[in-house]
Amino acid sequence: MAAKSCHTVDIPKMEEMSEKEIKAIIRITRDAGHHSVMEHASFTFSIEDVSRALTHQLVRHRLASYSQQSQRYVNLEPLEYVTPPTVAGKKEAMEKYREVMEYLEKSYHELVEMGIPLEDARYILPNATHTNIVVTMNARELWNFFTLRTCMKAQWEIRALAYIMLRQVRDVAPTLFEGAGPACLQGPCPEGERECAERVRRGLRGVKR
């Protein structure tokens, strides 16, 4: 509707536009680089039990809105945390990881018991700590997010999240996100390498393109 309104005397009504016309307009504006019209469509995600390491990367995407669980107001006992697959896959690494997490949880608890405010006790919490975050991004920003974060160069946890988000928006807005994904699927790989393209395709299996 916003895209068509650039070329009409009156703002067109959505209900008077056919599915075929909507798809055509989305494709024409996208291919012409008239991407600001994509900013009128926004998507909100409720993201639970990801690590603080992930959200630290996520919030670098500046053209989005965020509401994150506060470590100043929420007592994080018991300490829930993300375990990277590389750690989970190695017995001795897993033992060390669990030992450190248990020590940190116990120490956090002791600090809180001593009357240390949550906002100060949290200084000892690790990057792995679970957090929840509600994120709203418009379609233009999501395209940029998918380009960067579905790439095999992106860190595994945020990449896994990006693929879930891509599948979800593709389900509800297939034309708007037609072709969205890593840079290597849109053109030349900016990293100058193509060896990971097959792994990217595997990651996108099941996503209509």
Ligand X SMILES: Cc1cc2nc3c(=O)[nH]c(=O)nc-3n(C[C@H](O)[C@H](O)[C@H](O)COP(=O)(O)OP(=O)(O)OC[C@H]3O[C@@H](n4cnc5c(N)ncnc54)[C@H](O)[C@@H]3O)c2cc1C
* Active site (catalytic) residues: 149
Give CA–CA dist 75/57, Å, rounded.
23
Candidates 6-14, 71-79, 124-132, 146-154 — which segment interacts with ligand X by CB under 6 A?
146-154
Contact between 161 and 47 under an 8 Å Cβ cutoff? The reply is yes
Candidates 11-19, 60-68, 175-183, 197-205 — which segment interacts with ligand X by CB under 6 A?
60-68
Smallest separation, CB 140 to ligand X (Å): 8
DSSP 8-class letter at 154: S
153 is a site residue for ligand X (CB under 6 A): yes
160 is a site residue for ligand X (CB under 6 A): no
Smallest separation, CB 51 to ligand X (Å): 16
Give CA–CA dist 77/104, Å, rounded.
11
Opening angle at CA 197, ends 137 and 56, nearest 5: 35
Smallest separation, CB 18 to ligand X (Å): 32
63 is a site residue for ligand X (CB under 6 A): yes
Give the residues across from 50 on adjacent strands.
Answer: 131
DSSP 8-class letter at 185: G
Question: Can you say how many angstroms the Cα of residue 124 is from the centroid of all Cα atoms in its chain?
Answer: 26
Candidates 12-20, 104-112, 142-150, 194-202 — which segment interacts with ligand X by CB under 6 A?
142-150
Which of 25, 53 has the CB closer to ligand X? Answer: 53
109 is a site residue for ligand X (CB under 6 A): no
196 is a site residue for ligand X (CB under 6 A): no
Handedness of CA 53, 57, 60, 62 (dihedral sign): negative
Please name the residue that has the structure tokens 């509600």. Answer: 134
Q: In the set 37, 121, 141, 142, which binds ligand X (CB under 6 A)? A: 141
Binding residues for ligand X, rule CB under 6 A, total 10
Residue 72 makes CB contacts below 8 A (sequence gap 6+) with 117, 118, 119, 122
Smallest separation, CB 153 to ligand X (Å): 4
Which residues of this protein are in contact with ligand X, per CB under 6 A?
Answer: 60-63, 141, 144, 148-149, 153-154
